[in-house]
A and B are shown apart, each in its own frame.
Chain A
Amino acid sequence: MRARARSNLRIFFIGGYIAYKALFNWMHPSYYLPTMLGAPLFQILFFAYIGRYTGLKDDAFFVVGNAVQLSAMAGIYGMAMTIGGERWTQTLSQLLATPASRLALFLGRSLPLIVNGMVTSVFAFAVGWWLLDFSLALENIPTLAAIVAVSAVACTAFGLLVGAIGLRARDVFFLANLAVFSLLLMCGVNIPLDAFPGWMEAISRVLPLTHGIEAAREVAAGASFADVDHLFWTELGIGAGYAALAYGLFRFFEADGRRRATLETM
């Protein structure tokens, strides 16, 4: 029992770290800096300037919305590519032939992505503070960090779902892009939820990020954790729901892929 737990922990930490290094070139500055830091910088400026032009909201609205949303990018693309990349390099069958716990395997891969998402988010907040009209009280930073972390976790779980669908779908990268852009549209990142028709708002309420962004905006405006704890727990619950759904779907598609011998069909 203890040996199994140790093996799972090894797969979780070491396997996750190696997969992160192997599957993504993000560790290399020439890829990491433009993609994970450069693009987010301009994304925030782009939406903040539209906000200024339209008179929709102040800079803080866009800085917080985009900074939290950017924590999703690594989780969704990363988890989708974890599975899509294995298919692409024809290593998925070998991976799934191992007796390794699937939970430890894929949760381990998600950990570096959550940290990665948080780094991007911190950078985005710093950009907002440096270049735009945004400030944050020091005492609010720990609560905000917790909200960003839980949002990154929820988005990574959503990414795992995209990756699980990628076991069956032909183009997981298309799905991952679609997921990221849909979250950007639907989760109140740049548009107040009350500007949406009712059905869009209802969908946004079951997506990751929506509650995290709402909580982060309130905290940035001075609210305490007690004021937003219901949003925090809802975000975590949504993340847990997506993780469970992703795991179930993954096991189902894995079993189905074995039966039909279609695991690596591109």
Chain B
Amino acid sequence: MAVLRLIWAGWRFHVKSLTLSGFFLLTSSVQPILFATMAYFMFRAGSNEQSLLYVALGSGLMGIWSSTLFGSGGAISWQRWQGTLEVSIAAPAPFVLVLIPITLATATIGLYSLTATLLWGKLFFDVPFEIAHPLLFALSIPATILGLGMLGLVLAASFILYRNANALSNLLEFPVWLVTGLLVPLSLFPGWVRPISWVLAPTWGVRAIRDSALGEGAPLAAIGMCLALAACYFVIGTVLIGHFERLARERATLSLT
């Protein structure tokens, strides 16, 4: 119960604080709208008759990935700059439980982008918002957020080893949009791309959201994959964070940027 309370309180705090950040406003609202506009024009002007709702949902997921990537990837660096890392680690709660609300919050903030792209599409591009399976759609969103939030935990833990976490975030934005099939189906890519896409939560998140909205495929299986991956990421993230924390304490390098 105490664990859930900690996660809930941390999540609420970080969602509020990220909502006030200009950078996250850009990443989670303005940037997805600009990319969605590009995608709408490209799909409209092209010869492919894919529905614009497909495009709107994919663009929204792009925003969720961006906010998770930049928010979670830089979570520990930001704590270092703000001087709160030592305090967080010295707290009686395990550090991973301090970090999870941050990574979940960064993924949650991405919901602004899904809302923004759907609204933008509806207002300016006549994108129909008709959900084939509302219940599954409602389930697919928290499952996707959880999947991406836990992937964020792995990113936060891995980026510790890299001094310029921001640069790595810059690098990883487009390739994940590409290999998780957010706007382009995976069948267009060489076969070796697919195993990479299978271990990335956005692949299953977009499938769950899109299949439940458009009434195609098997959204329940995709939701299940999101949850299963979230569990795997949690284990990997916890091990990595524990390892980092031990090394940082031993070497007294916690506050070094």
Q: Given A191-B45, A192-B45, do A177 and B171 touch, yes or no (CB 8 Å)?
A: no
User: Is A51 interfacial (CB-CB < 8 Å)?
Assistant: yes
Q: Tell me which residues across on chain A come within 8 A of B185, comparing CB atoms.
A: 53
Per-residue CB contact flags for chain B residues 185-227 toward chain A (1 = under 8 Å, else 0) read: 1001100000000000000000000000000000000000000
Q: Tell me which residues across on chain A come within 8 A of B23, comparing CB atoms.
A: 171, 173-174
Bound complex: CA A181 to CA B168 (Å): 19
User: Is A185 interfacial (CB-CB < 8 Å)?
Assistant: yes
Residue in chain B with minimal CB distance to A191: B41
* Majority-rule SS of A interface residues: helix
Would you call B48 and A54 a contact (CB within 8 A)?
Answer: yes
CB proximity of A149 to chain B, nearest CB, Å: 24
Residue in chain A with minimal CB distance to B173: A39
* Majority-rule SS of B interface residues: helix
Number of interface residues of A (CB under 8 A): 36
User: Is B92 interfacial (CB-CB < 8 Å)?
Assistant: no
User: Is A103 interfacial (CB-CB < 8 Å)?
Assistant: no
Would you call A50 and B26 a contact (CB within 8 A)?
Answer: no
User: Is A56 interfacial (CB-CB < 8 Å)?
Assistant: yes
User: Is A34 interfacial (CB-CB < 8 Å)?
Assistant: yes
Would you call B42 and A39 a contact (CB within 8 A)?
Answer: no
Bound complex: CA A38 to CA B166 (Å): 13
User: Is B150 interfacial (CB-CB < 8 Å)?
Assistant: no
Interface residues of B in 135-190 (CB under 8 A from A): 162-164, 167-168, 170-171, 173-175, 177-178, 183-185, 188-189
Chain A CB count within 10 A is highest, among B22, B25, B37, B46, for: B46
Q: Given A39-B174, A184-B34, do A53 and B162 touch, yes or no (CB 8 Å)?
A: no
Would you call A30 and B167 a contact (CB within 8 A)?
Answer: yes
Residue in chain A with minimal CB distance to B37: A185
Bound complex: CA A182 to CA B34 (Å): 7
Q: Tell me which residues across on chain B come within 8 A of A88, comparing CB atoms.
A: none
Per-residue CB contact flags for chain A residues 23-62 toward chain B (1 = under 8 Å, else 0) read: 0010010110111001100110110011111111000000
Bound complex: CA A50 to CA B184 (Å): 6
Bound complex: CA A59 to CA B231 (Å): 40
Would you call B38 and A30 a contact (CB within 8 A)?
Answer: no
Interface residues of B in 37-52 (CB under 8 A from A): 37-39, 41-48, 50
Residue in chain B with minimal CB distance to A49: B184
User: Is B31 interfacial (CB-CB < 8 Å)?
Assistant: yes
Q: Out of B22, B41, B171, B188, which one reaches A39, CB within 8 Å?
A: B171
CB proximity of B136 to chain A, nearest CB, Å: 26
Q: Tell me which residues across on chain B come within 8 A of A46, comparing CB atoms.
A: 174-175, 177-178
Q: Given A31-B167, A38-B171, A46-B174, do A190 and B38 touch, yes or no (CB 8 Å)?
A: yes
User: Is B30 interfacial (CB-CB < 8 Å)?
Assistant: yes
Would you call B42 and A190 a contact (CB within 8 A)?
Answer: yes
User: Is A178 interfacial (CB-CB < 8 Å)?
Assistant: yes
Would you call B31 and A181 a contact (CB within 8 A)?
Answer: yes
Per-residue CB contact flags for chain A residues 228-257 toward chain B (1 = under 8 Å, else 0) read: 000000000000000000000000000000
Residue in chain A with minimal CB distance to B38: A185
Would you call B46 and A54 a contact (CB within 8 A)?
Answer: yes
User: Is A195 interfacial (CB-CB < 8 Å)?
Assistant: yes
CB proximity of B61 to chain A, nearest CB, Å: 14
Q: Tell me which residues across on chain A come within 8 A of B173, comparing CB atoms.
A: 39, 42
Q: Out of A25, A35, A55, which one reaches B48, CB within 8 Å?
A: A55
Q: Out of A35, A53, A54, which one reaches B170, CB within 8 Å?
A: A35
Q: Given A49-B178, A191-B41, do A39 and B170 touch, yes or no (CB 8 Å)?
A: yes
Q: Given A31-B164, A178-B26, A181-B31, do A52 and B188 touch, yes or no (CB 8 Å)?
A: yes
Q: Tell me which residues across on chain A come within 8 A of B171, comparing CB atoms.
A: 34-35, 38-39, 42
Q: Which of B's residues lie within 8 Å of A, judged by CB?
A: 22-23, 25-26, 30-31, 34-35, 37-39, 41-48, 50, 162-164, 167-168, 170-171, 173-175, 177-178, 183-185, 188-189
A-B contact pairs, 5 of them (CB 8 A): A38-B170, A38-B171, A45-B178, A52-B188, A54-B45
Given contacts A181-B35, A191-B41, 6 further A-B contacts (CB under 8 A): A31-B164, A34-B167, A34-B168, A39-B170, A45-B175, A54-B46
